[in-house]
Amino acid sequence: DVEETIDWSEDDPLDAGNVTSTLLQRQIIEMQQSLRSFEKRLCETEAMVTVRDRDISLNEETIAELLDTLTQKNEVASSHETKIKRLNKDLSEMKSMVEEKEDLLSDASTRIQEREDTIEEKDVTIAEQQRTIGKRNGTIESQRVAIEKANVKVEQKKTAIA
């Protein structure tokens, strides 16, 4: 720092040169201080720019990684979508097969019911025929008993005649 011991006498030209020289030295010192301050701010700014550049690079790397991950996930999702479509197609085909089987089962159930109805009708017919046979057997038995009685009487008459 420059001390202010300046004599302002205008008569002495050396004093006037000293004043000018002192003022210039003061301006030079102020400019040097301003320049140092500017250099300091410039260094700080460069450091901040370096940090920001590094952050930007890291962000760019992170974005690239995220894009890769997103691309991979999209590929997986696309693969899953294809599988789901295929499974839906398979499911639709299975539903059609089940409907066909249900129709066949319904037809078979109808035929079975018809057969059971026919069997019941035949059972009724058989029961009626068995009753008729039973009646005939009863009639035949009655006739056989009557024939035996008649045979016994014929035997008795033969014995009586003899």
The structure's pTM equals: 0.43
Q: What is the pLDDT of residue 111?
A: 97
Q: Cα separation of 68 and 80, whole Å?
A: 18
Instruction: Judge whether 67 lies within some domain.
Output: yes
Q: Cα separation of 113 and 118, whole Å?
A: 8
Confidence band (pLDDT; 50, 70, 90) for 161? confident
Q: Which residues contact 19 (CB under 8 A, 6 or more apart)?
A: 6, 8
DSSP classification of residue 137: H
Instruction: Judge whether 161 lies within some domain.
Output: no
What is the torsion angle, in degrees rounded to the nearest 10, for the CA atoms of residue 94, residue 100, residue 104 and residue 106? 100
Instruction: Judge whether 85 lies within some domain.
Output: yes
Instruction: Judge whether 3 lies within some domain.
Output: no
Mean pLDDT of 39-53: 95
Q: Cα separation of 53 and 45, whole Å?
A: 12
Q: What is the pLDDT of residue 162?
A: 74
Instruction: Judge whether 7 lies within some domain.
Output: no
Instruction: Judge whether 99 lies within some domain.
Output: yes
Tell me the per-residue pLDDT of 124-159, one tens digit each, with 9 for 90 and over: 999 999 999 999 988 998 999 999 999 999 999 888
Q: Where are the alpha helices (DSSP H) in the chain?
A: 13-161
Q: Which residues contact 101 (CB under 8 A, 6 or more apart)?
A: none
Instruction: Judge whether 125 lies within some domain.
Output: no
Q: Is residue 107 scored above 90 in pLDDT?
A: yes
The residue segments making up the domain with residue 96 are 17-120
Confidence band (pLDDT; 50, 70, 90) for 24? confident
Residue appearing with tokens 């790397």? 61
Count of domains forming the chain: 1
Instruction: Judge whether 139 lies within some domain.
Output: no
Residue appearing with tokens 């009685």? 149
Mean pLDDT of 31-49: 95
Q: Is residue 32 scored above 70 in pLDDT?
A: yes
Mean pLDDT of 40-52: 96
Contact 2, 26 (CB under 8 A): yes
